[in-house]
Structure 1
């Protein structure tokens, strides 16, 4: 039992809600710059330097793969340097990355910028956010995670259009530097003021402290990899994210010939907006649900939306399908921490989140490529998206399997 459970989590005066605000801002800028903003960088760096798209996109792939490696060691970093120092390192790295993107002149600087972005993901990404909120909440954990992770979607909805607008009016370099200054000005004081462990948890031991603040042995990653409950959470999430990433990246290309560019853009907006609605809606009652059952239902709803989408050319039905699909998009990163906390426990939380996020990140990174490859072989998206439907259904079946064995506390 975590120390935070002794407090009234439903009260707005509970300090944990200020931690949620800090995590929201971290997710807003991390996902806004580190994920959704990459389309802006691709276009602007090609325009400014004449670099081929393959060079910039390869740097993006490098960044995501490096991130998937670095997040494995999140629990070690939390124990070694502490929560606040890790987040501030992540903020510094992300700020340096976005500033370098504005100022770079040579390709090697591009790869340095994307490497720094990977460090930013390690300090400000989903693993750290989930770990700190897991420590602060028990009864309202699902709501806290949903609210914080909505910052990720809002980063795409708000930050990217602002970057595009600023770039059009003052240029890419001033736009990136201005946005970087705003990010540091907003996130730095909030992190310094609000971020920390609950009373009774040792900052040095971080997520590996028990309720009395006594350090417990860290969990061996080998032990986690040998645990069936861990794999029946990680594999289906990875498979579902692979299908999800494949659809998201190819959505406009699929829809544009059917309903036109404007309507295809509207479909993306609707899907992103529904992701916010889905997170908020689920967050209100997810703490009373079985997270595995809710996760399977979300995967099944995405499979159903894709199946109907393949059967119609009606603009209205296509938009509805994108809305239904979007309703569950954000929740795919909300379910893993809830399942881990319930089935693996607090002492292994950071290690399991880091390892699970790494595996999911590596697997899902192949989603756009696999969908594109199947499409090139078959000539259209029917087979590719049908494959995504099957992947979602398989994932939904696997996540419902409940091995009875829990992870045991062992020394690393």
Structure 2
């Protein structure tokens, strides 16, 4: 169910754009604290408590896997407690998590903090953002998603350096508490004021608040697992994200011996900046494109960038490859909702997004580990990144397969 099609979605007065702003801020803080900030936590908690890196890393893995399980039930939570309550619950959980990270003294508190962060992902992550924007936009859906998900990249570009700067001046504990307070002050009124469903739209994805509605949602998930169109979207995205996560985590380690630490850091900055450019560029045209073809083009460009990266030691070429690779990074979470809406429809949208995000999240979580193991076995990154190239090319072939539209 979409907002009335007679409404001019291009008008800045359309309420949906205020919802986009709220979603941008949600993505900014959720990805800033919940993904990009984890490198800061790893270093600072080791320094403050002397905990081994494996302990903190294991907590991160635990959080990502728990998030991938909880997100399956997003459509049920939307039905039972409502959109705004779910988001506010996620915001509260994320705030509690970051406060606990600042104040913790024992390892069990670390795992509690990361568990709370998983609840935050459920209430403020990609599935909720995609679901609410899908309800507000039809003709400009791709642009709305691209703008909102740019908040994720901006969270890494802005929030993480800010945390590092504040940590250097006032300490990690005060920096986390100050950043948490800023999040609440900025985001809470925006969510309360702007977030909601379009008029006359039921917040349910496909059923009421009854047992029959729950049974229908369960049936919807079962139908999705038997839907070829669903799998030809989920599997290639999962494979591409596995390769992407593997490269991103190991990028600095690979580049530093070739071009030095400062240039390797510049490569990360360039890649992140190009992710913003890529999302904005795609958003301007994606509503007129076939999302499967656009997705295949993005995967192919990443495979080509990695292939050239492995052939050169020239700093300019390496930086250019990172720029090309970064151009498509953010779009990998923009394509699934566009494909789902076009081929599966609104009825099972939240269920499909939740299930798909869960599967791709679990699969992609192994990316850094697989690249690390292959690198250890071979002694270099050539085979590991070549494997990423192959995964991208296989993913390209799968996403281009069109088994036919089928409603779940």
Please classify the TM superposition score into its range, dividing by the shorter chain length. Answer: over 0.9
Question: What is the alpha-carbon distance in structure 1 between the residues aligned to residue 106 and residue 34 of structure 2?
Answer: 20
- Answer yes or no: is 1:328 the counterpart of 2:325: no
Task: Report the CA distance between 1:305 and its aligned residue.
Answer: 0.2
- 1:9-408 matched pairs, under 5 angstroms: 9-203=9-203, 205=204, 207-208=205-206, 217-218=216-217, 220-408=220-408
Count how many residue pairs are aligned between Structure 1 and Structure 2: 402
| Distance (whole Å) between structure 2 residues aligned to residue 7 and residue 196 of structure 1 | 17
Q: Where do 5+ consecutive residues of structure 2 fail to align?
A: none
Q: Structure 2 CA distance, aligned partners of 1:334 and 1:2?
A: 18
Conserved in 2, the CA contact under 8 Å of 1:90 and 1:121? yes
Point out 4+ residue stretches in structure 1 off by more than 4 angstroms.
none
Paired residues of 1:4 and 1:137 also in contact (CA < 8 A): no
Measured after TM superposition, the shift of residue 202 of structure 1 is 2.4
What is the Cα deviation at residue 404 of structure 1? 1.2
Measured in 2, the distance between the counterparts of 1:89 and 1:303 equals 39
Whether contact under 8 Å (2:3, 2:137) holds in the other structure is no
Deviation at 1:208, TM superposition (A): 3.2
Distance in 1 between residues matched to 2:291 and 2:60, nearest whole Å: 32
CA contact (8 A) 1:278 1:331 kept: yes
Separation (CA, whole Å) in 1 of partners of 2:140 and 2:300:
25
SS of residue in 2 equivalent to 1:7: coil
Which range moved further: 399-408 or 140-149? 399-408
Describe the superposition over 1:158-210 as per-residue Cα deviations: whole angstroms up to 9, x where unpaired: 0000000000000000000000000011110000000000011124x2x3379
Tell me by how many angstroms 1:77 deviates: 0.2
Could you tell me how far apart the structure 1 residues matched to 2:37 and 2:57 are? 12
* Distance in structure 1 (CA, Å) of the matches to 2:281 and 2:296: 17
- Residue 405 of structure 1 and its aligned partner are, at CA, apart by 4.3
Q: Distance in 2 between matches of 1:355 and 1:118?
A: 16
Q: Check the 8 A contact 1:202/1:209 in 2, yes or no.
A: no
Given that 2:344 and 2:405 are in contact with CA atoms closer than 8 Å, whether structure 1 keeps it comes out as: no
* Counterpart Cα distance in 1 of 2:83 and 2:6: 22
Query: What TM-score do the two structures reach when normalised by structure 1?
Result: 0.96
Aligned equivalents of 1:227, 1:372: Cα separation in 2:
34
Contact 1:209 1:347 in 2 (8 A): no
